[in-house]
Every structure is written in structure tokens, then in C-alpha cells.
Amino acid sequence: MSTPPTSETNPPTSSGTTSLTQSIEKLDGSIAAGKSNYQAWRFRVIRILKEKGLLTAIEEELDKSDSKAVARDNAAFTILTPNVKDSQITHIQECSTAKEAWEALRTVHQGIGATGRMVLMQSISKNSGLHSERPVHQTHRTPECQSRIRTQQ
């Protein structure tokens, strides 16, 4: 029978994370292609934050006058950042709290959901006449399509 992980069995590394946080797959994915691993990543990170008593850092607004809350926020943000791929850093690099980073990632990855994205992509394809034009004539529509996708997420 194995023993549950503790700070003794999973000592912090130099970055303040444990081997538990180093074992999860980093958040990545193409939203338009529906290949985001956000739901599984979210579940795992929530479990880690709960185990470490840091879940409130992503659920509540930070009281900067509370030094313990600031410490929890820093610890939670430290768990989030190494667990996202470099392609996702752009979504959180301007965030100043773990909650802001969490919400930014949620907004990007949850968006309108897989079904909504599929319907949107079909609608854009149908309405833009992409199937009836030669590829060379479709290039002018790319910014319009990208803009429509971004506003729907």
C-alpha cells in the first residue's frame, strides 16, 4: 500500500514546485482545431492547488494587504506558469495574480466550446465561399475569418 504524497515524499524543487506538479502534461493546444488539453489540465491543476491549500488564490480576489494571501497567490502562480507550454505564456505574461492568469487561460481555452467552434468554422467556410474559390483568391479572407473566430471565443 503506497503512502499519500507529503512534503517529505515530494520535497519542493528549487522553483518551489514538487514532483507532483512536474508530472502533469503542460497546457497546450490549438483552439480552432479542437486539440486543447485544457479540461484535463484544469482538473489536474485544481487537484494540486487543493492539496497545497492554494485553491483560493484562483477563486478569490487578492487582498494585497494580507501577506499570507500574497504568499498563496505567488505559490499558485508559480504552479501555473511552468505547467503551460511556451505558446500559452502570451495569454498570462501580463497578469499580476494567479486568479488573473487562471481566468485568462479559461477564457482562451473554454471559449465557446468544441461544438460552438465547429459550428462557427462551418459557418465561416460556408458563408465565405471558400469551397467555390481557388486558393489564391481565398487569401484576402483570412484576416476576416481570424477576426470572427477571435470574437467568438
Q: Is the pLDDT of residue 61 over 90?
A: yes
128: containing domain: 113-152
Last residue in a domain, options 77, 93, 110: 110
- pLDDT, tens digit (0-9, with 9 covering 90-100), for 108-149: 887 655 555 665 566 666 655 555 544 444 445 455 555 555
Residue 7 lies in a domain: no
For 46, phi and psi rounded to 5 degrees? -60, -45
> Which pLDDT does position 136 carry in this prediction?
47
96 in the same domain as 60? yes
Same domain, 135 and 86: no
Residue 47: half-sphere exposure toward Cβ, Cα within 13 Å: 11
Residue bearing cell 511552468? 82
Q: Are residues 79 and 120 in the same domain?
A: no
118 and 105 together in one domain: no
What is the tens place of the pLDDT at every residue in 78-115? Answer: 999 999 999 899 999 999 999 999 999 998 887 655 55
Please tell me whether residues 32 and 73 are part of one structural domain: yes
CA distance linking residue 109 with residue 27, whole number of Å: 10
Domain co-membership, 105 together with 30 = yes
Contacts 24+ apart (CB under 8 A), 134-139: none
The structure's pTM equals 0.61
Instruction: Identify the CA nearest to 128 among candidates 117, 115, 114, 144.
Output: 144
Cα–Cα distance measured from residue 142 to residue 115, given in angstroms and rounded to the nearest whole number? 22
Domain identity same for 84 and 30: yes
Do 51 and 97 lie in one domain? The reply is: yes
Are 64 and 120 contained in the same domain?
Answer: no
- Shared-domain flag, residues 31 and 62: yes
48 and 84, same structural domain? Answer: yes
Domains identified in the chain, total number:
2
Are both 106 and 32 inside the same structural domain?
yes
